[in-house]
Structure 1
Amino acid sequence: MADSNSRSKEVDEWIAKLKPDLQKIANALRDVVFEAEPAITESIKWSRPVYSKRGNICSIDPAKDHLNLGFFNGVNLQDTAGLLEGTGKKLRHIKVRKLEDVRKNEFRELVKYSAMLHTAEK
C-alpha cells in the first residue's frame, strides 16, 4: 500500500461523501493506482480525484450507482482483458459497480501502461 502521506486530504473528503458501498470501491481503486505508480500525484480536478504524473493519467469518476476508473489516454491502452469502454477521441473508462469488480492486476497494468505512455509523449 502507498504511503498515506502521498494521499490527498481533499480526496479523503471526497470519498467520505460517497455512499458506503462506493466508498469501499473508491478506496480500492485508489489503492490500485498508488500500487501501480507510487510517485503519482493525487488531487481533485473537475470535482473528482485525478491522478497525475507529468500530466493527467487517470481519474475516479462518480456516477449514480457506480464509479468509473477513467483513463485520459485510454484510446492508446492495450486492453487485452477488454475492460475499457467509451467512444470518445481519447478517454476510456471501466465501470465498477461493486467491490468484486475491482480487478487489481488488470487495473494496475492499465495504470502503469497509461503512465508510461503519457511520460513517453512528453
Structure 2
Amino acid sequence: MTGEPASGASARIDHYVASFDDWRGDLLAHIRALIRQADADVVEEWKWDGPVWSRGGIICTGEVYKSAVKTTFAKGASLPDPAGLFNASLTGKTRRAIDFHNGVPIDEAAFMALIKAAIAHNLG
C-alpha cells in the first residue's frame, strides 16, 4: 500500500490530530513535534489509516487508542534503547513500540535519540 504525497499527508495528519479533542490529540501533536525536531528531513506520510514518519524507510507509525498513543518503530528490535522506552511489541523479531499514557511524562531526549537511531539504521 502506498501513501499519500507528503504535503497531502501532513494536512491529513493535522486533521487527524485535531480530531482528538482530549489528551490523546495533545500527546500525538507533542510526539509529532519531537519527531520533526529530531530531524528536519523526516517525511510525513499517511498509510494504513494513520500517520507514518519516514526517512530512508519507515521510522515509526502513530496510533491512537482509548488508553494510549502508540508509536511503532518498524525496525525497533535493531535499535539501541538505553533508556528502556520500548514497552510494547517486545517479542516481535523486527518491530518495537512505545505506549504513551495520559499524564506520564515523555523522556524527550531519549525519544529523539530513538528517532535519530532509526534514521541512522535506515540510511545505514
* Fold conserved between structures, TM > 0.5: yes
Instruction: Please tell me whether the aligned partners of residues 28 and 99 of structure 1 are also in contact (alpha carbons under 8 angstroms).
Output: no
Amino acid at match of 2:119: A
Q: Distance in 2 between matches of 1:99 and 1:119?
A: 34
User: How high is the TM-score relative to the length of structure 2?
Assistant: 0.86
Amino acid at match of 1:17: S
User: How high is the TM-score relative to the length of structure 1?
Assistant: 0.87
Flag structure 1 segments of 5+ consecutive residues without an equivalent: none
Tell whether 2:77 aligns with 1:79: no
Counterpart of 2:44 (choices 42, 45, 48) is 42
Amino acid at match of 1:119: L
Q: Distance in 2 between matches of 1:99 and 1:58?
A: 22
Question: For structure 1, which segment, 56-65 or 33-42, has the greater mean C-alpha deviation from structure 2 after superposition?
Answer: 56-65
Flag structure 2 segments of 5+ consecutive residues without an equivalent: 1-6
Residues 58 and 99 of structure 1, relative CA distance in 2, 3 Å threshold:
farther
Identity over the aligned pairs, expressed in percent?
Answer: 26
- Partner-residue secondary structure (3-state), 1:8: helix
2:71 alignment partner in structure 1: 69
Residues 118 and 32 of structure 1, relative CA distance in 2, 3 Å threshold:
same
RMSD: 1.6
Query: What is the number of equivalent residue pairs in this alignment?
Result: 115
Give the CA deviation at 1:19: 3.9
- Partner-residue secondary structure (3-state), 1:109: helix
Stretches (4+) displaced over 3 A = none
1:92 alignment partner in structure 2: 96
